[in-house]
Amino acid sequence: MAGIVLDKLKKSYGGTEVLHGVNAEIADGEFVVIVGPSGCGKSTLLRMIAGLESVTEGEIRIGERVVNGLEPAQRDIAMVFQNYALYPHMSVRQNMAYGLKIRGLPKEEIDRRVEEAADILEIRDYLERKPRQLSGGQRQRVAMGRAIVRKPQVFLFDEPLSNLDAKLRVQMRLEIRRLQKRLGVTAVYVTHDQVEAMTLGDRLMVLNGGRSEQFGTPIELYERPQTTFVAGFIGSPAMNFLPATAEGGEVVLENGARLPGGTGAGRVRLGLRPEHLLADDGGPIRLQAILAEQLGASTLVHGTLEGTDSALVAALPGTRAVTEGEVLGFSVAPAQMHLFDGEGRRIG
C-alpha cells in the first residue's frame, strides 16, 4: 500500500497551461475525490498519476518513489474508466484475467485471483458471459474486478458511474466505498457530481480552472468553504449569495434588512444555504416567492429577496404550497452565515 504526493504539479498542452501547480498529500489507504466542473483538469491530473500523461513540472510520488519517469505498468496502479473499456469478444473471466496473463502469472494464480474478485463483487455467475450479456451495473463490476485482480497499490477512478442510471449509481457508490475500505487501497476518484464527492471521499479536492481551491473533508468544505466557488459547488441545492454590507456585528442586506452576526466591515457577499433558512414569520429575511418545487421530503421555494432582484432559494421540510408573489419570512443562525470578500474569499 502507498500514499501519493503531488508536489507543485503543472501540466501544459502546447503553450497552454491547464494545471497550475497542484499540491496534495494523500495518505495510505485514503479515499480522495477530485471534483470540479467540466474542463477544470480532473482527468488530466488523474492521467498524470496513472502515467498516461507526462508531467510538465513538479513531482508525483507514490509510496517512496518518484514516478515521473515511470511507465504506467511500473507504477502499480489500476484505473477504472467511465466507459469500462471491456473487450467485447472476451468473456468476463477473460476480461478480468487479461492483464494478469500479459504479466505472465501462472494460470492457477490467475484463476484464484479472478474467482476471489468475482466473489467480492458477486459476479461469479457471470464469469462465462460476454460483456454485452450484462447490465450496465454488472459491466461496471467487471471493470472493477479487472482492477482488483491486479492487487494494485492505488486505484484511480475517472467518473466510473456516469453511464449508470441514478439508482444504480447510488448502489455502486456504496459498493465502491465498501470495497475500497475492505481492500485498504489508496484511491483517487474523479467526478463532477458533488453528491458523489460528498459521500465517497475521506477528503475532497475542489479543482477550479486547474487550481486546487480547497482540500478537506466533505464536512469541512460544507461548513467552512474558503471561496465562493467551493461554497457554490458543494451542497445541493446550491448556496445563495446576496450582496450585503457588514457593520458593527450585523449584516445589512440590499433591502435594509439586518441580520445579527458576521465579522468585518464593508461590502461583502453573504452566503446562505437554502437548508439553513428557517421559516420564521417575523424573520428578517423576506423571500418573495416565484414558485415551489415539491420534492416530497422537502420543498424548494424559489424567489427573490423582497424588494430586490437577487435570487433566493429556501428549502423547507415537508410539502408546502406557495402562491406567486407571496412573501415568506426566514431567519438564520449567525453560525450559518458565510461572508466572502469582493474576490470571493472567505472572511473570518
Ligand X SMILES: Nc1ncnc2c1ncn2[C@@H]1O[C@H](COP(=O)(O)OP(=O)(O)OP(=O)(O)O)[C@@H](O)[C@H]1O
Query: What does the binding site for ligand X look like in residue numbers (CB under 6 A)?
Result: 13, 18, 36, 38-44, 192
The set of residues, in sequence order, having a beta carbon less than 8 Å from that of 219 and lying 6+ positions away, is none
Contact 94, 149 (CB under 8 A): no
Taking the complex as a whole, how short is the minimal distance between the CB of residue 301 and Mg ion, in angstroms? 35
- Contact segment (CB under 5 A) with Mg ion among 36-44, 236-244, 290-298, 316-324 equals 36-44
Q: Which is nearer to ligand X, 38 or 323 (CB)?
A: 38
CB of 217 to Mg ion, least distance (A): 24
**Residue 43 interacts with Mg ion (CB under 5 A)?**
yes
Q: Choose among Mg ion, ligand X, none what residue 303 binds, the Cβ cut-off being 5 to 8 Å by kind.
A: none
Q: Minimum distance from CB of 142 to ligand X (Å)?
A: 23
Q: How far is Cα 230 from Cα 194, in angstroms, rounded to an integer?
A: 11
Minimum gap (Å) between residue 34 Cβ and Mg ion: 10
Q: Which amino acid is at 292?
A: A
Q: What is the DSSP string of 132-155?
A: GGS-HHHHHHHHHHHHHTT--SEE
Shortest distance, position 60 Cβ to Mg ion, whole Å:
18
- With b for 16 or more beta-carbon neighbours within 10 A and e for fewer, the 307-333 pattern comes to ebebebbbbbeeebebeeeeebbbbbe
Query: 39 contacts which partner out of Mg ion, ligand X, none, CB within 5 to 8 A by kind?
Result: ligand X
Show Cβ contacts of residue 5 under 8 Å, excluding neighbours closer than 6 positions: 24, 25, 26, 59, 60, 61
187's CB contacts (< 8 A; 6+ apart) are 30, 31, 32, 154, 155, 156, 157, 180
* Closest CB to ligand X among residues 36, 216: 36
Say which residue the cell 439553513 belongs to: 276
Judged by CB, which is closer to ligand X: 229, or 241? 229
In the 8-state DSSP scheme, what is residue 308? S
Length of the chain: 348
Residue 192 interacting partner from ligand X, Mg ion, none (CB closer than 5 to 8 Å by kind): ligand X
- Which residues, at least 6 apart from 199, have a Cβ–Cβ distance to it below 8 Å? 173, 177, 218
Nearer to ligand X, 75 or 192 (CB): 192
Cβ atoms < 10 Å from Cβ of 29: 16
Q: Which is nearer to ligand X, 189 or 330 (CB)?
A: 189
Which CB atom, from 31 or from 157, has the smaller least distance to Mg ion?
A: 157
Is residue 191 at the binding interface for Mg ion, with CB under 5 A as the rule?
A: no
**Closest distance to ligand X from the beta carbon of 192 (Å):** 5
- Which partner in Mg ion, ligand X, none is near 44 (CB below 5 to 8 A by kind)? ligand X
Which of ligand X, Mg ion, none has residue 218 at its interface (CB below 5 to 8 Å by kind)?
none
Residue 138 site contact among ligand X, Mg ion, none (CB < 5 to 8 Å, cut-off depends on kind):
none
| Pairing of β 240-247 and β 211-216 | unpaired
- 226 lies in the binding site for Mg ion (CB under 5 A): no
243 binds, among Mg ion, ligand X, none (CB under 5 to 8 A by kind): none
Question: Please, what is the minimum distance in Å from the beta carbon of residue 23 to ligand X?
Answer: 17
Residue 233 C-beta: closest distance to ligand X, Å: 13
Looking at 13-60, list the stretches that DSSP marks H as alpha helix, in order from N- to C-terminal side.
Answer: 42-50
Q: Which residues bind Mg ion (CB under 5 A)?
A: 43
